Structure 1
């Protein structure tokens, strides 16, 4: 049986949406994608029992009150229903020791759900010269480098010390949760990847590997292959 992968969705004016790159990347490597609703959390246990793995997709900003802060002036649109639904589902998936791959916003909400925190706006809150993390090139263009840390699951997956990634964000993980470690950094110090030390496959990535799969980008392909493989166990 192919593993069933829950795919988180955007919610805008009562309309759910998911970029199809996420769907195609899962299906290409042997998973069955199911788009998840952002609804009342009383369905969380049923959903977590249904799916074998969780893909947390990109999207808008995250409610800062969830990590004890007031809204920063650089905060963009938030969707509290999505935040609440995803946090509850992440906690249940972690409890069940099921694989999670968080992408961009997905990495950030993973951090919050696990007890970490984040920058609301890196361009105002990080006091160093930053790279262009909101690239103006197409989504299939890899625009900056990430240094991959030794002794990490990410390094085992891709086998490279440095990779080139795309970048579409103004928020980022600031402190990883307890029980997690940084597995990739941009040259300006922004956390680009982190992973659980207590689960077989729980990985957060600040970039969008789903957009690079069709470009036959080897690291992106390796990440999705490993994710789907982990969901079969």
Structure 2
């Protein structure tokens, strides 16, 4: 076995919380850890526990942040004008039972990290809920429930086909996604979310749209070098 003395970049990822044998357990999906390692970086798990905010300096240096899936973001953290009735909310909670439980501690930790990235130009990637966190951190808003608020005909979540479900997205020309996928106008993507971007923060630009017009991907144009095909 060869051990390298090279210091690799550190990428922070916040854990999720689940209940196991009547005790809370923090975890991170192995796929996301593999993603970080496969790109030559070291994953550093930031635990979702009270008080971790005061320890943020101890996680330095932060070379990147990966924000990924989780529960719905607390709607009080962004301006929302959805007129959802108590009956609507009851139905949403019933249909999306595993996703609608608010985790304010995780919200707070990830919003702190997202704002740190935006302020200090730390590289970031937001997947699923992570992209929503970035949008909220930059001043954007969310649909609390896509079906209820826009009456979509596009299925964005399929509980019976979690791993296999896909739908098409339209790729915006002259964006990183368009460049990475050899200028394809449409690609198929996996989808598992009942919320989504409502008003995109001003600093971001859309990269992809679902058939119902929902923004499915966005980026910061000030952080991207189109000639190099990579983010700064």
State the TM-score bracket (shorter-chain normalisation): 0.7 to 0.9
Q: Contact (CA 8 Å) 1:185, 1:192: kept in 2 or not?
A: yes
Q: 1:70 to 1:78 in 2, by over 3 A?
A: farther
Q: Residue 212 of structure 2 corresponds to which residue in structure 1?
A: 188
Q: Distance in 2 between matches of 1:121 and 1:103?
A: 18
Correspondence 1:85 to 2:109:
yes
- Partner of 1:6 in structure 2? 12
Shift of 1:185: 0.5
Q: Give the TM-score, by structure 1 length.
A: 0.78
Q: 1:155 aligns with which of 178, 181, 192?
A: 178
2:96 maps to what in 1? none
User: In structure 2, how many angstroms separate the alpha carbons of the residues matched to 1:69 and 1:186?
Assistant: 21
Map of 2:56 onto structure 1: 44
For residues 161-208 of structure 1, what are the alpha-carbon distances to aligned partners after superposition, in whole Å with 9 as ceiling and x for unaligned? 22111111101111110111111011111111011123249xxxxxxx
- Is this contact kept in 2: 1:104–1:169, CA < 8 A? yes
Alpha-carbon distance in 1 for matches of 2:214, 2:61? 35
Alignment gaps of 5+ in structure 1? 202-225
Per-residue deviation, 1:11: 2.4
> How many aligned positions are there?
202
2:182 paired with 1:176 = no
1:45–1:92 CA contact under 8 A, matched in 2:
no
TM-score where L is the length of structure 2: 0.79
Do the aligned residues in 2 keep the contact of 1:142 with 1:164 (CA within 8 Å)? no
State the 1:30 CA deviation.
1.8
157 and 99 in structure 1: CA distance in 2 versus 1, 3 angstrom threshold: farther
- Runs of 5+ in structure 2 lacking a partner? 1-6, 94-99
Note if contact 2:80-2:142 (Cα within 8 Å) is conserved in structure 1: no
The equivalent position to 1:143 in structure 2, one of 162, 166, 180, is 166
Q: 1:23 aligns with which of 24, 33, 43?
A: 33
RMSD of the TM alignment (CA)? Answer: 2.3
Mapping for residues 186-225 of structure 1, pairs under 5 Å? 186-200=210-224
Does 1 or 2 have the higher relative contact order (CA < 8 Å, sep 6+)?
Answer: 1
